[in-house]
Chain A
Amino acid sequence: METERYSVVLFHSMSNALQVEKLLKGMGMAVKLIPVPRQLSSDCGICLRFDRRDEPRVKATLEKKGIEIQGIHPMSR
């Protein structure tokens, strides 16, 4: 798997994750909700995976909507 291609956004809540998934999909980005990688958080939740090249657009959308996040992390093996 080419995990180098992806980064993930960790949210505080499931609702925010679903909200942003819908927004980014609406903008034509290929995003996917996946389990939070163990090394990033002990939280049992989900995070949103996106193509690293889309990072500026993802950040701009989060800022525009005023959605607080736990963080953005590159995916690694």
Chain B
Amino acid sequence: MIYLDNAATSWPKPEAVYRAMDHFMRHTGANPGRSAHQPSIEAGRIIYETRESLATLFGIGDPTRVVLTSNATEALNLVIKGLLQSGDHVITSSVEHNSVMRPLRAAEKRGVEVTVVRCMPEGILHPPHIEQAIRSNTRLIALNHASNVVGTLLPIAEVGLIARQHGVLFLVDAAQTAGCYPIDVEATSIDLLAFSGHKGLYGPQGTGGLYIREGIESSIEPLKYGGTGSRSEHEYQPDFLPDKYESGTPNSVGLAGLGAGVRFVLEQGVPEIQEREQELIRFLTDGLRAIPDVTVYGDSDPQGRVAVVSFNISGLTPSEVAMQLEEDHQIMCRPGLHCSPMGHKTLGTFPQGAVRLSPGYFNPNEDLERTLKAVGKIAAARARC
């Protein structure tokens, strides 16, 4: 099998991730921070170390500013539902995932005003367009770091500066970039950073998180309330991080795995992973562009994108191509709209969508050579019809 769906969930995981999770289940097991016995403290320690590794990765000084969630979607909902109030204005782009668009559309019904800034058909965003959209009541700019449909990177450093100059909060959805592209919350003026744990950070599904800059938490209501293992004598939610946003027993085994995944990333080095993924994507896009009747979407410059490429074969629907890739060539990809109807409208591929290939750090070159041959065969067979 050739697995090219790393933009949805990375697979396989580093060996250390499997080991950390197995070890947690067999030898730690307890509920973190709820009891004071040693296995409970050890579980808390493992989670704290995950927090600390994430802080190191993203240039966050204080690990307690990292709130752990079940995925990036929960982190994004936490901000959008907890921060924005009726009369607030928010700016986003036309290549966002539904994890941002749907909570924003729901917020509109509560009286929040939403401006969607159009990107170019390659997914490129011009920062001045964001600045022009700022109003006196603009509270938040919410942008993904890279599109999950075409992989195009958005200019978050430039937009971060604009947001800072105008006193607007800046939320970045790093689902596609965390672990494979350098992120520094200070250098890019990020106030809120949402990330998933199961993609470029190599954790299991059901893990993710949110960085919250100091001071902002007083304006963000929790998504859930409940037991935190702290201040148990009070019937009111604690107001400090991370407890304010972390009620209920966490996914400790998942977070043990995530910690091992993040440490793997730190050991390899983000620039090393980025370079390898750029090699893969360059090879793949160049190869696809050379096949007759294949249209490749997105920025042609591999420096401007992450390891995600979408394409179509003329005369075939994305689902037909994906089915042939799997049945005849054992290649796993993802056809359709990729939870981003607006992203596909931007590319001009709505409603049929596209075929998305997303290689990962562990794919050998041979996987991509075989994939290009397979796509060539499918396109040639279609042309003969």
Which residues in A have some Cβ–Cβ distance to B below 8 Å?
12-16, 18-19, 21-22, 33-36, 41-46
Contacts and interface: CB of A to CB of B under 8 A. Distances in A.
B229 A44 contact: yes
B28 to A, nearest CB: 14
Contacts of A42: 232-233
A45 B240 contact: no
Given A13-B238, A13-B240, A19-B64, A43 B45 contact: no
Nearest to B234: A43
B251 to A, nearest CB: 16
A42 B233 CA distance: 7
B232 A15 contact: no
Contacts of B230: 12-14, 43, 45
Interface in B223-253: 228-233, 238, 240-243
B56 to A, nearest CB: 13
B48 A19 contact: yes
A21 B48 CA distance: 11
Nearest to A16: B64
Nearest to B244: A13
Contacts of B32: 14
B229 A36 contact: no
Contacts of B254: none
Chain A contact residues: helix, strand, loop or mixed: mixed
Interface string B31-52: 0111110000100110010011
A70 to B, nearest CB: 10
11 contacts: A14-B32, A14-B48, A15-B48, A15-B64, A18-B44, A18-B45, A19-B63, A21-B45, A43-B233, A45-B230, A46-B41
Contacts of A21: 45
What 4 A-B pairs have minimum CB-CB distances, sorted nearest first? A35-B36, A14-B33, A18-B48, A44-B232
Contact of A36 (B36, B241, B242, B243): B36
Interface in B88-124: none
Contacts of B241: 15
A41 B229 CA distance: 14
A41 B36 CA distance: 14
Contact of B243 (A15, A19, A46): A15
Contacts of A13: 64, 228, 230, 238, 240, 242-243
B51 A15 contact: yes
Contacts of A44: 34-36, 229, 232
Contact of A33 (B36, B228, B229): B36
B36 A45 contact: yes
A45 B232 contact: yes
A35 B120 CA distance: 58
Given A18-B44, A35-B36, A36-B36, 11 more contacts: A12-B238, A13-B64, A15-B63, A15-B241, A19-B48, A33-B36, A33-B41, A34-B36, A42-B232, A43-B230, A44-B36
Contacts of A12: 230-231, 238, 240
A43 B45 CA distance: 19
A14 B242 CA distance: 10
Contacts of A41: 233
Residue in A15, A36, A41, A44 whose Cβ sees the most chain B Cβ within 10 Å: A15
B36 A14 contact: no
A43 B34 CA distance: 10
Nearest to A47: B36
Nearest to A46: B36
Contacts of B33: 14, 45-46
Interface in B51-104: 51-52, 63-64
B48 to A, nearest CB: 4
Contacts of B35: 44
A12 B232 CA distance: 11
A42 B18 CA distance: 39
Contacts of B240: 12-13
A19 to B, nearest CB: 7
A42 B232 CA distance: 8
Residue in A16, A22, A44 whose Cβ sees the most chain B Cβ within 10 Å: A44
B55 to A, nearest CB: 10
A33 B229 CA distance: 15
